[in-house]
Chains A and B, each alone.
Chain A
């Protein structure tokens, strides 16, 4: 009797296998994210059409970047087409292509900015949020209404809104593909498992991106920190992007699991509290041993989220990532 009771008790403590809720994740996480980014990008285009000077654009630029942080982790499907993700945000950029492209366009006063069709053919390093940041937060951000930069900023904003609108439309279609996975005419998702896998891989990749790129790039090495490799530091976004990304990833994790994920939620909570407590918008502290340690701790806590996700969500679903991608040769 006692043994039986005990075994019931033990069974209750065992984690139940998680179930993926693709429908919930798509309807309550993905589609709202695509809609929100389209709205913020649209507002940016409206602001730029009304007044394309830097001071007028900065708030709408910040909002659009916020909107992008809600969507950018969904790197499969519509964001994967035509290099859209990099067109929206060309980062990381170790070769400095954004600076070079923006400088080139401005130096030539290239008329390519005067028509949306022509502008869509510009190198992706000269488009999107990072190019706009160069214009409205760069050395010549005091440009006037009649300057080239003003037309250029407007062109970027209008182009971004068009891309965001296309993504929103395409996501509506792609959602149907995900929800009809494994049916005869669906050549994108060959089985019901594949959309689950796509969401799961997106989640894990984005956690790694936060740790390895958003934090790892400015961290560099102890002897050679690289604070100016931080993401969008000119517009004070490095820490903000990490906070927003963690919030978006937590929302995805919750929506894609049909069962409670307490280990994952605790890991998110820990990292998010650390990120909220940091008072270093640009992560410039990577260059100072004391504050560097705090950023390093955040990096480790984000990696711990990955471990929790692999164990609690991946393990329960029989999902793995990277049979080939994590193996060399």
Chain B
């Protein structure tokens, strides 16, 4: 039986044509949305904003992880969710359903290492209250093959850096699947940005000053030469106008954004997404609560502000950004703002994910 299923899998592999992102219409970005009829779907989008595919989702998504070469996306439920779907974006079929193991829940983000063979998922060991990265093998039918620590509490986004180094945003507070939306341990939180080897060794860790320990580090984007931008969510009074974006390179200190005070206060203490542009010389953060995107140079100097209600999704677009919002707007912002698509009733969810292939 075992041998037989192995052979079947082998044969299927030998016969099936190897698919690429071109087979899914060569999308530039992936985004999840709620549609006018209240259902949810994952979309592939061209750089002009046209749909290349639409795959229904059973519930509201959070982010997706795009495979580097194959047209496969892992769609995560909202945190603290316990399942994720592996979707074949060329056929629209669900290839696998990943269930978080007992005692773990997903945080809604993931990334691929090992040339796309290992999917890494940010997770919480909610008894111990410790962050984990779940490891899943694509070549072994999406079997869970292990887990490593994030060296912090409440990891949210994780990203792959060159050499399969994982950088994890350890947000500092915990969640529990029994009480979605409740933040646990905020009073004691101590967030960090941790660099972890694929074996789970801590390579580097950065914490901010004690006065900013309520700033939950949650989202990450990668710039030039190992530069990491991180977006934060302030758990104190939103009117305090604290910095919400930091830049860090291993071995150096973290540098915080230099937003004008009125823009910092208008961000409502909340960053939903962070992205570098394609030149990786500019970095953007979005605040759906503040209805604005802030754009910085790669030293944290403030360049400009873009106003869009309920804005959240960001992805690189040349010398600028794709920007999506909960009201159906998808725009490209570089020297000017170019509306790409306006679909009434389609509410774009938190994240836009670039397809690298």
- Asked if A327 contacts B327 (CB within 8 A), the reply is no
B62 touches A329 (CB 8 A): yes
Tell whether, in the assembled complex, residue B309 and residue A83 are in contact, meaning their CB atoms are under 8 Å apart: no
- Cβ-defined partner of B262 (8 Å) among A83, A201, A322, A329: A83
> Are A191 and B342 in contact, with the CB atoms below 8 A?
yes
A187 at the interface (CB under 8 A from B): yes
Q: Contact at B326–A324, with CB atoms within 8 Å?
A: yes
A93 lies within 8 A of chain B by Cβ: yes
Contact A323 B309 (CB under 8 A): no
Nearest Cβ on chain B to A91's Cβ, whole angstroms: 8
* Docked-complex contact A323 and B329, CB < 8 angstroms: no
Contacts of B260 in A (CB 8 A): 83
State whether the Cβ of A328 lies closer than 8 Å to any Cβ in chain B.
Answer: yes
Chain B contacts with A in 253-310, Cβ cutoff 8 A: 260-263, 265-266, 272, 288-289, 291, 307, 309-310
Please name all residues of chain B whose beta carbon is closer than 8 Å to the beta carbon of A125 when the two chains form the complex. 261
Among candidates B156, B240, B309, B311, residue contacting A329 with C-beta atoms closer than 8 Å? B156
A86 at the interface (CB under 8 A from B): yes
Contact with B along A307-329 (1 / 0, CB 8 A): 00000000000101111110111
Is the beta-carbon distance between A92 and B239 smaller than 8 angstroms? yes
A194 at the binding interface (Cβ < 8 Å): yes
User: CA A322 – CA B307 in complex, angstroms?
Assistant: 15
With A92-B239, A197-B327 known as contacts, the answer to whether A324 contacts B263 (CB < 8 A) is no
Which A residues, 66 to 97, have Cβ-Cβ distances below 8 Å to chain B?
A: 76, 80, 82-83, 86-87, 92-95, 97
- Take A94-B240, A191-B342, A197-B309 as given contacts and tell me if A324 and B325 are in contact as well, using a CB distance cutoff of 8 Å: yes
Question: Is B261's CB under 8 angstroms from A322's CB?
Answer: no
Within 8 Å CB of B237, what residues of A?
92, 94
Cα(A158)–Cα(B9), bound, Å: 78
Q: At the interface, yes or no: B34 with Cβ under 8 Å from chain A?
A: yes
Closest-CB distance, A230 to chain B (whole angstroms): 14
Residue pair A323, B262 in contact (C-beta under 8 Å) = no
Interface assignment of B125: CB less than 8 Å from any CB of chain A = no
Say yes or no: A80 contacts B272, CB within 8 Å.
Answer: no
Q: For residue B133, give the distance in angstroms from its CB to the closest CB of chain A.
A: 17
User: Does A190 count as interface, using CB distance less than 8 angstroms?
Assistant: yes
Minimum CB–CB distance from B278 to chain A (whole Å) comes to: 21
Contacts A191-B344, A324-B312 given; indicate if A329 touches B261 (C-beta within 8 A). Answer: no
Number of A residues near B (Cβ < 8 Å) is 32
Residue tally, chain B, CB below 8 Å to A: 45
Q: Which of B67-81 contact A (CB under 8 A)?
A: 78-79
Tell whether A124 is near chain B: CB-to-CB under 8 Å: yes
Is B356 in the interface zone, CB < 8 Å from A?
no
The reply on A193 being an interface residue by CB < 8 A is: yes
Q: Mark B307-329, 1 if CB is under 8 A from A, else 0.
A: 10111100000000000011101
- Against A, the Cβ 8 Å flags (1 = close, 0 = not) of B221-245 are 0000000000001000101110000
Residues of B within 8 A of A76 (CB): 291, 307, 309
Q: A273 within 8 Å of B by Cβ? A: no
Contact indicator per residue, chain B 186-199, by CB within 8 Å of chain A (1) or not (0): 00000000000000
Q: DSSP majority for the A interface?
A: loop
Which residue of chain A is the closest to B340 with respect to CB atoms?
A190
- A124 and B156 CA atoms in complex are apart in Å by 35
Establish whether residues A328 and B338, one from each chain, have CB atoms under 8 Å apart when the complex forms.
no
Across the interface, A83 reaches (CB within 8 A) one of B240, B263, B272, namely B263
B336:A325 contact, CB within 8 angstroms: no
Which residue, B34, B156, B262, has most C-beta atoms of chain A within 10 A? B262
Q: Are B239 and A325 in contact, with the CB atoms below 8 A?
A: no
Q: Counting CB contacts under 8 A, is B41 at the interface?
A: no
Given known A94-B240, A125-B261, contact A83–B181 (CB-CB < 8 A):
no
A19 at interface (Cβ–Cβ under 8 A)?
no
A226 CB to nearest B CB, Å: 12
- A163-200, CB under 8 A of B: which get 1 and which 0? 00000000000000000000000010011011001100
The smallest C-beta distance from A325 to any residue of chain B, in angstroms, reads 4
Proximity bits, B159-178, A CB within 8 Å = 1, else 0 = 00000000000000000000
Give CA–CA (A187, B307) in the complex, Å. 11
The verdict on A140 contacting chain B, using a C-beta distance below 8 Å, is no
Chain A positions within 8 Å of B337 at CB level? 187
* Per-position 1/0 for A218-247, Cβ under 8 A of B: 000000000000000000000000000000
Verify if A123 is at the interface (C-beta below 8 Å from B): yes
Query: Closest CB of chain B to A106's CB: distance in Å?
Result: 20
Kindly identify which residue among A80, A82, A191, A324 contacts B310, using a CB–CB cutoff of 8 Å: A324
**Quick one: given A80-B307, A83-B260, A191-B344, are A327 and B240 in contact (CB under 8 Å)?**
no
> Provided the pairs A187-B338, A324-B272 are in contact, do residues A87 and B262 lie with their beta carbons within 8 angstroms?
yes
CB pair B261–A190 under 8 Å, yes or no, is: no
Q: Considering only CB atoms, which chain A residue lies closest to B80 in the complex?
A: A329
In the complex, what's the smallest C-beta–C-beta distance from A70 to chain B, in angstroms?
21
Q: Output the nearest chain A residue to B242 by Cβ-Cβ distance.
A: A95
Bound together, the chains give a CA A321 to CA B327 distance in angstroms of: 8
Interface string of A131-149 (1 = CB under 8 A from B): 0000000000000000000
Partner of A198, one of B261, B265, B309: B309
Q: B326 touching A86 by the CB < 8 A rule?
A: no
How many angstroms between the C-alpha atoms of A94 and B264 in the bound complex? 14
CB-CB < 8 A to A324: which residues of B? 272, 288, 310-312, 325-326, 347-350
Task: Show 6 residue pairs from A and B whose CB-CB distance is below 8 angstroms, ordered by the A residue.
Answer: A80-B307, A94-B240, A194-B309, A324-B310, A324-B312, A324-B326
The 9 closest A-B pairs by CB, nearest first: A83-B262, A323-B326, A324-B288, A325-B288, A323-B347, A324-B312, A324-B326, A92-B239, A190-B342
